[in-house]
Amino acid sequence: MNNGIGKAIVFLDGSNMFWASKEVKASKQLADYRIDYNKLIQKLREACSPNIVRTYYYGSIPPQAPPKQESYYSKLQILGIKVRLRKLQHQGDTYTEKGVDMLLAMDMLSLAYNNAFDTAILVSHDQDFVELVERVQALGKIVKVVGFKDMVSHELRKSCDDFVDLWDSWERIQFDKQKDNSIPLADIEPPKEITNG
């Protein structure tokens, strides 16, 4: 296994973090809480690896996306984040996200096989990624999981090489419109998926 010094790639489960931000909002009794992904990546460079070479954001989009949502993803791309999307599936009166976890898993495994990174930084709370973590570790890679400690699956925390808790940094990575509106691309709002199925 490598020693964690080398190239790192971030795999960011966008929808999962969207719902996590809602839990932070409720827990802290805030009027609003949104994560500024630019600030989050800065935090990851300090806490996980200074050698982050790429960040992938995984999410979903309705068949006919509103301009605001398309603008959101465009801003992420301008920040240098590679956006990977799947279409939301219409079921009755709701939309359900399908195939996003699989897309993330396929990308991480493929990049691991091709030695594109030494360390994978998985930003998610989802227990479904336990097997992925173990398979990537079997290829000699280090896998770090990042999230809010009370929301992360116990099994996911046990499987990874290192866990980085965001609770102590929730204010630091928060999008603040009043303070940040002079910073280019700071006004980024997550799309509102109706259900993450």
- Residue 21: its pLDDT value, please? 82
CB–CB of 103/59 below 8 Å?
no
pLDDT level of residue 9 (50, 70, 90 thresholds): very high
Q: 20 — phi, psi (to 5°)?
A: -65, -40
CB–CB of 140/118 below 8 Å?
no
Q: What is the pTM of this model?
A: 0.85
- Residue 141: its pLDDT value, please? 97
50: Cβ contacts below 8 Å, ≥ 6 apart: none
Task: Please report the domains of the chain, with CATH numbers, ordered by start residue.
Answer: 8-180 (3.40.50.1010)
Beta strands, E only, the chain? 8-13, 52-61, 81-87, 89-91, 94-96, 119-123, 142-147, 162-165
> What is the token pair recorded at 8?
């790192």
pLDDT tens-place string over residues 151-190: 998 999 999 999 999 988 888 888 777 665 433 333 444 4
For the residues 10-17, what does the mean pLDDT come to? 91
